[in-house]
A and B are shown apart, each in its own frame.
Chain A
């Protein structure tokens, strides 16, 4: 029965590891749970102390969100603006990254650094110039302004990250494709792009999340028509009190698209985020 002991201790170690993992998960998931459950509570249930664990769920907060704060319009605004910005950043950024990774561009290291330097500017610095430019162009409080701002903000990130992903693809694969009869563009479309999907997914999620959650520019560069969700959600905090139910409902609505996106991209994400760690 000598072999029984190490077996037992191994089982114990495994159990401990699982227990730790569960505790950690609970720790990080609890605020999310609290937000979600609060969004279904009535005003009365929310203000209970000690907190109540069983209550009659109500959609009151969501209804109020739509009627009082125009959340539906804001959701559409957010979706359009962030969708445009993410597409713009991903398409232009990936193409720029490809050029910087593969072509003999004169001074490309300087160009790459220059692209990144935009990120070094604190966003607040550019708010006032952007405001003035937007007024002059007549695009203040439109989709275009925020879409352009978010797209440009995401661009350097896309260029830098995608450049590394592209460099990780052996050049001989592309050369083989060109010899096999592809033009440069066909090579990119049929051979390189499929191999880049994990990287693209990971990068896209990050760019999307940044734009989706952005508050500073959104609050300063919109007034009525192009208001986005974060601005609306902030309105739940009123001068005299915080409307907890409303804020929670806004939080849930804001989180949902990100969650859905991550779930959709999950297949690629795990590979994308760990790519480069292990050579295939």
Chain B
């Protein structure tokens, strides 16, 4: 089922938490809302669920206006960060609950519960209480309870945040596979960029109640539209250099060599996204910068401040003039204090808009 969020606001007194969000989510899409805490992503999700009422704007689910409908009339399922399991019921009863409320016949309920539990690998725990299970198992129960009634929309509010890193990686792929196989439209809220990148069909990066950029993961990574997005996604994040469009059309940059590397297409984009003073930023991903010998033509001179070997890659912290930035390379013999040249390949340098 498709979901349309149409210019939705949420205000608590004088505080605006969601600031006019509009987005169309396609049937079967895996849509991730990503942002730091307090950016309004969870509130937006809760308005789609009907747990909060929008102060303004409309929400359509499958073409029907659901802005003020009760949660139970929206045909949605939801997974919560703290699982929201009924502690006094067994796993079986937890999963059965939505079917019981819908007054399905007991035999039918049993069949569906067992089928869903089998799919999630919790068939052996049906007699247990939630308190007797680990976090990962509990989240599986909550997913089973959500999926047992074949919902058309699945909302997930940071479902993996309470799990340890290893389990998170496992559950991530499992959830993605599960909802993709079932073709359920999913809205997934997270502050974890890896979850967003690995699971999403499209990511909406949110900041202070606004959806700053809505695009497929790689596009968000390759072409962040604002400094906030550039800085939020990627680890280490994108290097950003202050830049300005002079009247002559020339780009003046904090590290001039990188500003000069902008190709014509990016220059055009810069013209479109620069603010009224002509300010924007030049962004380069750390892994796209290349270290060469000092004095190589076209290179920028940099002094190595710190070398951070991570095994697979190495972070090199550099200083050019008084500007600090990072390069990610393979293993290196460089050491703090060395002077090297840095080259920015023209097709990898991006114009990035400033945050409003």
Supposing A180-B97, A180-B145, A182-B101 touch, asked if A173 and B70 sit within 8 A by C-beta, the answer is no
Per-residue CB contact flags for chain B residues 233-256 toward chain A (1 = under 8 Å, else 0) read: 000000000000000000000000
Chain A: minimal CB distance from B93 (Å): 11
Of the candidates B51, B78, B84, B98, which one forms a contact with A173 in the assembled complex, judged by CB atoms under 8 Å apart?
B84
Chain A: minimal CB distance from B195 (Å): 20
Q: Give the chain A neighbours of B102 by CB distance below 8 A.
A: 181
A173 CA / B86 CA spacing, docked (Å) = 6
Supposing A191-B86, A194-B88, A280-B131 touch, asked if A179 and B49 sit within 8 A by C-beta, the answer is yes
Q: Give the chain A neighbours of B131 by CB distance below 8 A.
A: 280
A160 CA / B76 CA spacing, docked (Å) = 35
Chain A: minimal CB distance from B106 (Å): 17
Give the residues from 172 to 220 in chain A that come closer than 8 angstroms, CB to CB, to chain B: 172-173, 175-183, 186, 190-191, 194-195
A172 CA / B80 CA spacing, docked (Å) = 7
The listed residue with most A CB atoms (<10 A of its CB), out of B72, B76, B131, B145, is B72
Q: Give the chain B neighbours of A51 by CB distance below 8 A.
A: none
B87 touches A176 (CB 8 A): no
Q: Give the chain B neighbours of A180 by CB distance below 8 A.
A: 72, 97-98, 101, 145
A170 touches B98 (CB 8 A): no
Of the candidates B77, B84, B97, B145, which one forms a contact with A172 in the assembled complex, judged by CB atoms under 8 Å apart?
B84
The listed residue with most B CB atoms (<10 A of its CB), out of A172, A173, A183, A191, is A172
Q: Give the chain B neighbours of A170 by CB distance below 8 A.
A: 82, 84
A176 CA / B142 CA spacing, docked (Å) = 9
Give the residues from 148 to 186 in chain A that come closer than 8 angstroms, CB to CB, to chain B: 170, 172-173, 175-183, 186
* Chain A residue at smallest Cβ distance from B81: A172
Of the candidates B78, B86, B88, which one forms a contact with A179 in the assembled complex, judged by CB atoms under 8 Å apart?
B78
Q: Give the chain B neighbours of A181 by CB distance below 8 A.
A: 72, 98, 101-102
Q: Give the chain A neighbours of B101 by CB distance below 8 A.
A: 180-182, 186, 190
Per-residue CB contact flags for chain B residues 68-108 toward chain A (1 = under 8 Å, else 0) read: 00111000111011111111100000000110011000000
* Chain B residue at smallest Cβ distance from A195: B88
Give the residues from 38 to 84 in chain B that come closer than 8 angstroms, CB to CB, to chain A: 49-51, 70-72, 76-78, 80-84
Supposing A191-B86, A195-B87, A280-B87 touch, asked if A182 and B72 sit within 8 A by C-beta, the answer is yes
Chain A: minimal CB distance from B265 (Å): 46
A180 CA / B76 CA spacing, docked (Å) = 8
A39 CA / B50 CA spacing, docked (Å) = 63
A193 CA / B4 CA spacing, docked (Å) = 36
B72 touches A176 (CB 8 A): no
B85 touches A176 (CB 8 A): yes
Chain A: minimal CB distance from B151 (Å): 9
A172 CA / B142 CA spacing, docked (Å) = 12
Chain A: minimal CB distance from B230 (Å): 34
Q: Give the chain B neighbours of A194 by CB distance below 8 A.
A: 88
Chain B: minimal CB distance from A99 (Å): 18
A87 CA / B71 CA spacing, docked (Å) = 32
Supposing A181-B101, A194-B88 touch, asked if A176 and B78 sit within 8 A by C-beta, the answer is yes
A175 touches B80 (CB 8 A): yes
Q: Give the chain B neighbours of A172 by CB distance below 8 A.
A: 80-84
The listed residue with most B CB atoms (<10 A of its CB), out of A176, A182, A280, is A176
* Chain B residue at smallest Cβ distance from A169: B87
A175 CA / B155 CA spacing, docked (Å) = 13
A175 touches B145 (CB 8 A): no
Q: Give the chain A neighbours of B87 by CB distance below 8 A.
A: 173, 195, 280
Chain A: minimal CB distance from B112 (Å): 14
A279 CA / B49 CA spacing, docked (Å) = 29
Interface, chain A (partner B; CB < 8 A) = 170, 172-173, 175-183, 186, 190-191, 194-195, 280
Q: A173-B84, A176-B86, A178-B51 are in contact. List 12 more A-B contacts (CB 8 A).
A: A172-B81, A172-B83, A173-B87, A175-B49, A179-B71, A180-B97, A180-B101, A181-B72, A183-B70, A183-B72, A195-B86, A280-B87
Interface, chain B (partner A; CB < 8 A) = 49-51, 70-72, 76-78, 80-88, 97-98, 101-102, 131, 142, 145
| 6 A-B interface contacts by CB (under 8 A) | A178-B70, A179-B71, A180-B98, A181-B98, A183-B72, A280-B131
